[in-house]
Chains A and B, each alone.
Chain A
Amino acid sequence: MSRLVNESRGAYAFIERNVHLIKRYWGWELVWFFYSLVNSLAVTYIGAGMERISGQPMDTEYLIMYLLVGTLIWTYLSMIFYSISEMIAWERWEGTIEYTFMAPVSRPTQLVGTTLFAIGYGVFRTLLTLLIVAAFFRLDLSQANLGGAVLLLFAGSVSFVGLGILAAVLPLLYPERGAQMTNAAAALLLLVSGVYYPIAILPVWLQWIARGSPATYVIEGMRACLLHRAPTGSLLSTVFPLIGAGCGVILVGLFVFQRVERYAKKTGRLKRSG
């Protein structure tokens, strides 16, 4: 029981710490939020302009919603991914990695705290983006199955937690370049996951990679949910495999992380700051 209490205090330490970091670096947060908002707007305006670009009549409202769902879900999933993958990078930047790794708190506990924060902050930022974007476009959610969307979002979060853990290994292994490597991993996911286009237009070999990305299923499911009112029952064939695969990736991620942590302790890589 006391172990559980200690671990929950440890998990809360990471939530509280991340909230403080957001408050203290609010200027940067504002810049990144502005960048992400403008990006969402710019992408959605492509949909609004397609009729004029092609000179053909099109269902512009559908295009806008199609792109908006992609950009918003990507905003959310990438927040989860970055929050978790940067849990080591932050410690490197601040120089606190040794102190945190010396503390009697397990890595899964650190992960639970970081994930809870990431989900909360991700939902907050995505909703804020949606509210602002709604002022620019007429959004028709009359065909939306919002309950199903929430379920898919949860399943997507689980799948991205595992990917985030795997990416968090990079700053542990490569103190100087690790954080940049996580950006490259996120960029690849963005390319193949059908965020702005159906994956069917990709070359076959990229489609194979796309099928391995959980974001592909989350975004496809979300579009079915929000644009075509897909019933929740029909989503379960996506939700359960996503959660199952997500749990599998989390376990693999934790195993890999523990092995790499041991390697870092053998080779003295915890000390150097990026």
Chain B
Amino acid sequence: MLPSALELERVRKVFSRKQRSLARRVSHTSGRKDVVALESLNLTVDRREIFGVLGPNGSGKSTLIRLVSTLLLPDSGTIRVFGHDIEKEEFAVKRLINRVSVDAAFFKKFSPLENLTYAARLYGMPMSEARGKMREILLRLGLKEETFTEPMERMSRGMQQKVAVARGFLTSPSLLLLDEPTTGLDPYSKRDVQAFVREVRESHDATVVLTTHDMDEAERLCDRIAILDKGKVIALDTAEGLKNLVPKQDGNAPTLEDVFIALTGGRMEDKELEVAE
């Protein structure tokens, strides 16, 4: 039997944060505070699945994505990508994944083509193949040809994010990690990106893990959705299955947002202070 695209077993991640001197004096504690980002997390994502992760700020979504991206190491537990352990077979995992994060990080003075060329070379792609693919993906995402050689710093946030999406797809990853990829995009751009995600899953057999605050997006794209709170999965099902967890609201079927609020319980302000993910 083929291994799942992604398996997490009892994954725990704690960050030790330095407290500011005032907070330390008020709380009469030592200089460091442990913040639990993920608590004994178990999760399995099937091949070719678009798997959504919802959760309030500080719930552990970005930590989860960073762990799978090999940018963080778990304190305990195991993470396997297509059967490869992220610690023991880091290189094999890196070849299978790519990530689009909410903050499109680029060499700001480089053009989209220069940034994508850098990415293609890092991933060992032959340039003869990469050049055509870059243009194809950028055009498919709605970028105009004349912007390809403009410095990224002159582009709008939305255009930069589209280049980030193009970079994520350029290397044809088997597992694509999308960390709030459409945050800050206008509705047209959002639709472009969402359509592209679906298209890539169909054409390339890719598995996608998507974290988002956009409930419509999660419902539209994801086969299954996990709701994360305080580093734990508190619910996991299809969008329809999740809606069945909550009673009808004034006789109407609950929306995914209703489910989210009911399950996470309106403690979002507290959480925003709790962890800087």
| Residues of A near any B CB (own CB < 8 A) | 2, 5-7, 9-10, 12-13, 16-17, 20-21, 24-25, 94-96, 98-106, 262, 265-268, 270-271
Within the assembled complex, what's the spacing in Å between the Cα atoms of A168 and B97?
27
**Cβ contact of B110, chosen from A24, A98, A262, A265, cutoff 8 A:** A24
Cα distance A99–B109 in the bound complex, in angstroms: 16
Q: Which of B94, B101, B107, B109 has the most CB of A within 10 A?
A: B107
Q: Does B21 make an interface contact (CB < 8 A)? A: no
Contact present for A10 and B122 (CB under 8 Å): yes
Once the chains bind, are A20 and B114 in contact (CB under 8 Å)? yes
CB neighbours of A94 from chain B (8 A): 105-108
How distant is the Cα of A268 from the Cα of B94 in the complex, in angstroms?
18
Distance (whole angstroms) from the CB of A21 to the closest CB of chain B: 7
Please tell me if B148 contacts chain A, counting CB pairs below 8 Å.
no
Task: Taking A24-B151, A98-B71 as given, write out 19 further A-B residue pairs in contact, using a Cβ cutoff of 8 Å, ordered by the A residue number.
Answer: A2-B124, A9-B122, A13-B118, A13-B121, A16-B118, A24-B109, A94-B106, A94-B108, A102-B69, A102-B71, A102-B99, A103-B122, A103-B123, A104-B91, A104-B95, A106-B91, A265-B72, A267-B16, A268-B66
Q: How far is the CA of A98 from the CA of B119 in the complex (A)?
A: 12
B235 contacts partner chain A, Cβ-Cβ < 8 Å: no
- Contact, CB under 8 Å: A95 / B72: no
Are the C-beta atoms of B122 and A100 separated by less than 8 Å? yes
For the complex, give the distance between the alpha carbons of A12 and B118 in Å: 9
B residues touching A (Cβ–Cβ < 8 Å)?
Answer: 15-16, 66, 69-73, 75, 91, 94-95, 97-99, 101, 103, 105-110, 114, 117-119, 121-126, 151, 167
**A98: chain B residues within 8 A (beta carbon):** 66, 69, 71, 101, 105
Nearest chain B CB to A102's CB is how many angstroms away?
Answer: 5
Q: Is A95 touching B103 in the complex (CB atoms < 8 A)?
A: yes
The closest CB in chain A to the CB of B95 belongs to: A104
Question: In whole angstroms, how far apart are the Cα atoms of A25 and B107 in the complex?
Answer: 11
Q: For B106, list chain A residues within 8 Å (CB).
A: 94-96
Instruction: Please state if A21 and B94 are interface contacts (CB–CB under 8 Å).
Output: no
Q: Are A96 and B72 in contact (CB under 8 A)?
A: no
CB-CB under 8 A from B151, the residues of chain A are: 24
Let me know if B73 and A96 touch, CB within 8 A.
no
Could you give 14 example pairs across A and B, Cβ below 8 Å?
Answer: A10-B121, A20-B114, A21-B107, A94-B105, A96-B107, A98-B105, A99-B105, A101-B71, A103-B94, A103-B122, A104-B91, A265-B70, A270-B71, A270-B72
- Residues of B contacting A10 with CB < 8 Å? 121-122, 124
Contact between chains at B66 and A271 (CB < 8 Å) = yes
> Could you tell me the dominant secondary structure of chain A's interface residues?
helix
Do A96 and B105 form a contact, CB below 8 Å, given A5-B124, A9-B124, A105-B122?
yes
**B120 CB → nearest A CB, Å:** 8
Q: Which residues of chain B have C-beta atoms less than 8 A from A20's C-beta?
A: 107, 110, 114
> Which A residues are in CB contact (< 8 Å) with B108?
94
A17 touches B15 (CB 8 A): no
A95 engages B124 (CB within 8 Å)? no
Decide if A99 touches B73 in the complex (CB within 8 Å). no
Instruction: Closest B residue to A2 by CB, please name it.
Output: B124
A residues less than 8 Å from B72 (CB atoms): 265-266, 268, 270
B105 contacts A12, C-beta separation under 8 Å: no
CA distance A101 to B71 in the complex (A): 7
Residue of A nearest to B108 (CB): A94
Q: What chain B residues lie within 8 Å of A2 (beta carbons)?
A: 124
Bound state CA distance, A94 and B153, in angstroms?
Answer: 11
Q: Which residues of B contact A95 (CB under 8 A)?
A: 103, 105-106
Q: Check B107–A102 contact: CB distance below 8 A.
A: no
Task: Kindly provide the distance from the CB of B88 to the nearest chain A CB, expressed in whole angstroms.
Answer: 13
Q: Are B99 and A267 in contact (CB under 8 A)?
A: no
Query: Once the chains bind, are B71 and A16 in contact (CB under 8 Å)?
Result: no
Chain B proximity of A221: nearest CB distance (Å): 37
The reply to whether B105 and A13 contact each other, CB–CB distance below 8 Å, is no
- Which chain B positions have C-beta within 8 A of A271? 66, 71
For residue B172, give the distance in angstroms from its CB to the closest CB of chain A.
13
B122 smallest CB distance to A (angstroms) = 4
For A90, give the chain B residue with the smallest CB separation: B107
Q: Name which residue of chain B comes closest to A105, CB basis.
A: B122
A residues near B105, Cβ cutoff 8 Å: 94-96, 98-99
| A103 to B126 alpha-carbon distance, docked (Å) | 15
